[in-house]
Chain A
């Protein structure tokens, strides 16, 4: 293995204590590994494409609604949540909530993650709340995906 010790100087430290970083130099060692991984992924895509070709159904017909109809798999959770949420809250319709929560609120929260989570630690043991919320979110998305398939 072509491991290389590199000395890095932290400028803000008065005594200029070197920080050792062990790693592969980008060229050629790291790049070679990347190329191998890329070949594996490209090969897998080629295999999948040959074994399971992209489908083409009947031409679009606006007067013939097929049943069941699904959106793309990555939007199934939105579709599932829309079916799951059947309660009006005051003047707000159930449908509005069913769309707003998984689209607007969900993406809004995702954008704001670094500004909500002010805990400076990246040690998984010291950020139990963030990890728990993350696991709940993943289970939620998977559950609503499942819900959309079962209750079509």
Chain B
């Protein structure tokens, strides 16, 4: 008996691996899925999310969410921190590709009619993920606190603030005052590194569980 067999047996006796694993491991991926590259879009978005979490953790180690320090800390990431410029650029590109991939994934589902019974709820979770992914991008855009960040956020919060009834509240919650300032920055930071990642993670678990439960459309 090799060491790996012994280890497997140890965990198997405690976690019932031999009952849990085969349905996952031996489950066949349907042929129409493995032969059509359009089915990669959702996975691409998920991979981008993983890359974003990883690079985001590194950026959070150096970033300081105050108007005085924010710009300087990003400048330091770009010039002094080893590989900092690369990590931030990967974060930037993965974010844009993730948003594009989520949108294209939605278009595939729409045009293939894959949202029909019994997958209606998974479509709703998917649209929530699209909405959250764009909010994610929007909240991250302000953090470098440069001219582009500041004025793009000015437009964005202005547009959100013009929505009837809810607008003033959305704007007040996001901006945290009358104008974009220190409160806005910490709010966007909390949103970007705590609230949104947790929400996306929960919704992704639901999304994948439902794919598994309901099967992939057009498989039979």
How many B residues, CB 8 Å from partner? Answer: 79
Contact with B along A50-92 (1 / 0, CB 8 A): 1011111111111011100111111100110010000000000
Residues of A within 8 A of B149 (CB): 60
Chain A residues whose C-beta falls within 8 Å of the C-beta of B123 in the assembled complex: 113-114
Is B111 within 8 A of A26, CB to CB?
Answer: no
A65 and B151 within 8 A (CB): yes
Cβ 8 A contact of A134, one of B40, B97, B110: B110
CB distance from B79 to the nearest CB of A (A): 10
List 19 additional contacts besides A19-B220, A54-B78; criterion CB under 8 Å.
Answer: A25-B27, A25-B28, A26-B28, A26-B29, A38-B47, A45-B93, A46-B90, A49-B93, A50-B86, A53-B89, A56-B78, A56-B144, A60-B67, A70-B155, A71-B155, A71-B156, A71-B159, A75-B138, A96-B164
- 3 smallest CB-CB distances across A and B, nearest first, come from A122-B113, A60-B150, A54-B92
Q: Which of A30, A37, A71, A107 contacts B152 (CB 8 A)?
A: A71
User: Is B164 in contact with A100, judged by CB distance below 8 angstroms?
Assistant: yes
What chain A residues lie within 8 Å of B201 (beta carbons)?
A: none
Decide yes or no whether B175 CB sits under 8 A from chain A: no
- The B interface, classified by DSSP as helix, strand, loop or mixed, is helix
Q: Contacts A27-B25, A111-B124; is A74 near B134 (CB within 8 Å)?
A: yes
* A30 and B119 alpha carbons, distance in the complex (Å): 23
Interface size band for A: 35 or more
- Residue ranges of A at the interface with B (Cβ–Cβ < 8 Å): 3-4, 6, 19, 21-27, 30, 33-34, 37-38, 41-42, 45-46, 48-50, 52-62, 64-66, 69-75, 78-79, 82, 95-96, 99-100, 103-104, 107, 110-111, 113-115, 117, 119-124, 127, 130-131, 134, 138
